[in-house]
Amino acid sequence: MADILQQIASNLYEGEDEAVAGLVQKALDQGHKPSEVLQGGLIAGMDQVGRDFKAGDLFVPEVLIAARAMHAGMGVLRPLLAESDAPSAGKYVIGTVKGDLHDIGKNLVKMMLEGAGFETVDLGTDVEPAAFVAAVREHKPSMVGMSALLTTTMVQMRATVEALVEAGLREQVKIMVGGAPVTETFAKEIGADAYAPDAASAVDVARSMGCLLYTSPSPRDRTRTRMPSSA
């Protein structure tokens, strides 16, 4: 019989949300620490989803189903993790910039980050620079992610970076940008710290930038949902 943490990872990959929740509780009943279940079961499962997403073996609907299973497991774990000293991979504020209402890519990034152990603060869509500034002040994240699907809204990324500079908060956070029209060159031009070409790669970039604890391969979005840190 497979190790219960492997069972959790496998069922998560298959999107079996009820099974994942039940197995998480069973693992806890058997004496596994919440942090062990998180890393060895849920994160391990989402990492495999990420790898196969990048390879083109999984697509957006399958990732969404796996993410639903991950959330079911987290529903059992979250209260216990809050009580324990289990570290998160970092806090990440994410949003789609002002004037842009697209959120599919942003939501994928959020789910992949949460599956990798990040605590996310989702500001939603059409987020003004001032709202990003307020969120950084309130939540003190290690990273801010912005998404844009329209070339006409990309300028709001620059405006947000400038707003963080003016507020004296720029040095406190790393900034990642992404979305279909966004490029690495553009990210450098506006003073962002990083660019991710797709939702799954955003996790790897966040990890590599010290946001923090986990390391794992990254997935490529074959469906062209190229929204790095954005909400």
SS in 3 state form for the chain?
Answer: CCCHHHHHHHHHHCCCHHHHHHHHHHHHHCCCCHHHHHHHHHHHHHHHHHHHHHHCCCCHHHHHHHHHHHHHHHHHHHHHHHHCCCCCCCEEEEEEECCCCCCHHHHHHHHHHHHCCCEEEECCCCECHHHHHHHHHHHCCCEEEEECCCHHHCHHHHHHHHHHHHCCCHHHCEEEEECCCCCHHHHHHCCCCEECCCHHHHHHHHHHCCCCCCCCCCCCCCCCCCCCCCC
Instruction: Count CB atoms within 10 A of the CB of residue 23.
Output: 24
Q: What is the per-residue pLDDT for 86?
A: 61
Structure tokens at 99: 């004037």
Nearest to 112 by CA among 176, 51, 174, 24: 51
Structure tokens at 151: 């070339």
pLDDT in tens, the chain (231 residues): 359 999 999 999 999 999 999 999 999 999 999 989 998 999 999 999 989 998 899 998 999 899 999 999 999 998 887 676 666 778 999 999 999 999 888 988 998 888 888 899 999 999 999 999 999 999 999 999 999 999 999 999 999 999 999 999 999 999 999 998 999 999 999 999 999 988 778 888 998 886 543 333 333 333 333 333 333
Nearest to 114 by CA among 202, 21, 187, 16: 202
Entry pTM:
0.74
Q: What is the per-residue pLDDT for 123?
A: 97
In the beta sheet, which residues pair with residue 92? 120, 143
Q: What is the per-residue pLDDT for 13?
A: 96
